[in-house]
Amino acid sequence: MPRLTSLFLLLIPVVAVPLLLLLFLWSGGWLAQDRLSADTLVNTLEQSAGEHPGFRRNHAKGVCVFGDFTASGAAASLSRATLFQQGVKTPVVGRFALAGGNPNAPDYGVPVRSLALALTLPNGQQWRTGMNALPFFPVATPAGFYDQQIATRPDPTTGKPNPQHVAAFIARHPEAKAFFAWAKTFTPTNSWTNARYNSLNAFRFIDTGGNVTPVRWSLIPQAAAMPMSAADRQDPLFLQHDLEKRLQQGPQQWQLQITVAGPQDNPRDASIAWPASRQTVNAGTLTLTHASPQEKAACNDINYDPLILPEGIAASDDPLLNARSATYAKSYNRRTVEQAHLEAQP
């Protein structure tokens, strides 16, 4: 009997290691034909925008921005993250960008804009967040996002999405009706600096006692929103030119607003906006002081993975978060290899 027990103990690592590898591959979608992998999502984004070596597969066109976040102290009761303690100032490396994988797209032709931030705490922890100027996400699942990319891909003969494909997509993902209705009435602003940026996904704030609060966050601009002008529509770089002018005049600021989920809100579903009546907390002020082209600048080397979080902030069960994290990593790996090859060329 002792010999059998010893043999069993010796076999544990032999069996466990392949089993763990199998589970890892399965969880990444590598073994099931009907499961999405990060490769599949990145390939789909490439097919929609074309190949642009060295650039992000989504939000390819952008600029780096720099500044800091100063905490008001109001969010410290919700999260034990040190950056929320009153008066704490945390340096920020951010990036304004346009949605889509075309780095040469004209600014006026892309209505969806984004702001990504990397905040580095004194203890070395980081909070990375990618926010969009949308009130909610079009779909609730990674499969829905994949289907959306396929359905809205421009038809080669018309240059526009096929209405039948879009209708079939909405039939499969009825939650997208609200987004398409919003998109018909949406008017982009004339600046990156006067847009509101939303986390869309929910996260968990954890306080000093271990209590968990589901939240979303938004950056509320201090600059007044104005629509694009006819002159803006003539300048393919008008957002970059506007940003340069505004920063020359002084720092640009946003208030970080934390929205607390109500009992009826589902943190797993980013396709549903939470009501305006929900409790909000002004966590502090984001101040951006200067910008630079993204090529060879600090933001170009940052993967704005939404799951890089400091102690006191944790991911929710939203399935889009893991998909975003894996896809960002795959895109980062591809573009950095491409950049190295391009730099090595004579």
Per-block mean pLDDT, blocks of 10 residues, the chain (346 long): 40 36 34 63 80 90 98 98 97 97 94 96 95 96 92 88 93 95 93 98 98 98 95 96 97 98 97 97 98 93 97 97 93 90 82
The residues pairing with 254 across neighbouring beta strands, listed in sequence order, are 221, 286
CB 122 within 8 A of CB 82: yes
CB 61 within 8 A of CB 98: yes
pLDDT of residue 276: 94
Classified as helix, coil or strand, 170 is helix
pLDDT of residue 2: 45
pLDDT of residue 257: 98
pLDDT of residue 43: 85
In this prediction the pTM is 0.87
Using alpha carbons, list the distances in angstroms from residue 189 to 60, 110, 236, 256. 20, 11, 15, 19
How far is residue 313's CA from residue 33's CA, in Å, rounded to a whole number?
Answer: 34
pLDDT of residue 5: 40
Kindly give the residue spans of alpha helices, DSSP state H, lying in 173-315.
176-185, 238-249
pLDDT of residue 159: 84
Catalytic residues: 59
pLDDT of residue 47: 78
DSSP 229-257: PTTGGG-TTHHHHHHHHHHHH--EEEEEE
AA letter at 317: D
pLDDT of residue 35: 63
How far is residue 175's CA from residue 30's CA, in Å, rounded to a whole number?
Answer: 28
Using alpha carbons, list the distances in angstroms from residue 184 to 58, 77, 179, 187, 285. 22, 39, 9, 9, 32
Paired tokens of 255: 């208030």
